[in-house]
Amino acid sequence: MDTGIFKYELPEELIADNPSERGTGKMMVLNREDNSIKHSDFSRFTDFIDERTTVVFNSTKVIPARIFGQRASGGKVEFLLLKMLGGDVWQVMVKCSKHIGNGETVFFPNGLTAEIKERNEQFAEAVFSENEDNLLKYLDKFGDIPLPPYILKKRGEKHSRPEDREKYQTVYAEVAGSVAAPTAGLHFSREIIEKTREITGGHIENVVLDVGLGTFLPVKSEKVEEHQMHKEHFIIDEGTARRLNADKKAGRKILAIGTTTVRALESAAVAKGEIAPCDKETGIFIYPGYEYKFTDMIFTNFHLPCSTLLMMISAFAGRDFVMEAYDAAVKNRYRFYSYGDSMLIL
């Protein structure tokens, strides 16, 4: 399957560099039964669910994972901390003007240091001078929220703004570990979550998937099947799995809020309509031809061309239908990407 069939043209002015107020923004509604497209508003989200719906969120929390330091020579270095590998060792992405080799130490403000242990073209393993708990405290105080590069480019800025600490975080975030937000959740206000709880009779569940490279790394291969997904850690505890399985068996519709929630649910699927408790990594790659096992509806944003997320949605609703919807979104001036408008697929 050619990656190019997932390309589309997007005017740069439709890339959102700031989110709408929570609980607002345009929402496109796709109905897979009749391939219809309806233009609505997120404030009407609860009009499309009922007492037979179970809503599943990803309660991961974004950490301020970008930090800026320098080499002994004075050269500038940027780290994006991706995941902890154990103790004081982290997998990081390194950005600097000249090659940085194994054994070199990077110096960060307020006494933090990191030694490069292993490095390839994409990542490095870095040993920090602080353990996990202290490093997370350091990041919370001195780190930069890792906004997608296209937002910073659109703003003409190199760093996130102070207000992004709140805006680039869902109101229900609990478990720290992500380097990107589960952005579909950014639309939800506490009021809409409470109304959702009332309508569904309390059938709201939380899973955790730490959003990382598996979600946001672009597809560079010409053939979709040749793309290698990076693994992301996810958790579905026993109680959540038991309740979700009971809801599914009772005929309730499972609505996944965001593609990361979809990844967790489909990774945990052991059979059609059944998931297992999990605390592990997933490298699941969902693209057209995949048969969904647990997810009945998806709420999501508008994704980048040729991204794994667009491929996932195309597997759910059909590539032609999804690309038709994206064309309609452009014509109707929807806002795209992480801070943009939303799509509900029924």
Report whether pLDDT(176) > 80.
Answer: yes
Among candidate residues 170, 165, 111, the one with its CA nearest the CA of residue 138: 111
116 and 230 share one domain: no
Structural domain includes residue 78: yes
Residue 216 — left, alpha, or beta (φ > 0 → left; ψ -120 to 50 → alpha)? alpha
Instruction: Say what the pLDDT of residue 346 is.
Output: 98
CB 244 within 8 A of CB 205: yes
Distances (CA, A) of 25 to 21, 55, 170, 256, 339: 7, 20, 16, 19, 10
Query: Does residue 252 sit in the same domain as residue 228?
Result: yes
Burial label, 184 (beta-carbon count in 10 A; 0-12, 13-18, 19+): buried
DSSP character string of 103-143: T-EEE-GGG-EEEEEEE-SS-EEEEESS-HHHHHHHHHHH-
Q: Are residues 97 and 13 in the same domain?
A: no
- pLDDT tens by residue, 27-82: 999 999 999 999 999 999 999 999 999 999 999 999 999 999 999 999 999 999 99
The pLDDT of residue 78: 95
Predicted confidence (pLDDT) per residue in 236-289, tens digit: 999 999 999 999 999 999 999 999 999 999 999 999 999 999 999 999 999 999
Residue 42 backbone dihedrals phi, psi, to 5 degrees: -60, -25
Task: Give per-residue pLDDT as tens, 135-154.
Answer: 999 999 999 999 999 999 99
Widest distance between CA atoms in the chain: 64
The pLDDT tens digits for 189-216 are: 999 999 999 999 999 999 999 998 778 7
Which tens digit of pLDDT belongs to each residue from 7-22? Answer: 999 999 999 999 999 9
Based on the domain organization, do 216 and 179 belong to the same domain?
yes
The CATH number for 37's domain is 3.40.1780.10
pLDDT tens-place string over residues 95-142: 987 888 889 999 999 999 999 998 877 789 999 999 989 999 999 999
Domain match, 173 and 27 both: yes
Give the structural domain span for 244.
3-62+166-345
Q: Are residues 241 and 182 in the same domain?
A: yes
User: Residue 202: what pLDDT?
Assistant: 98
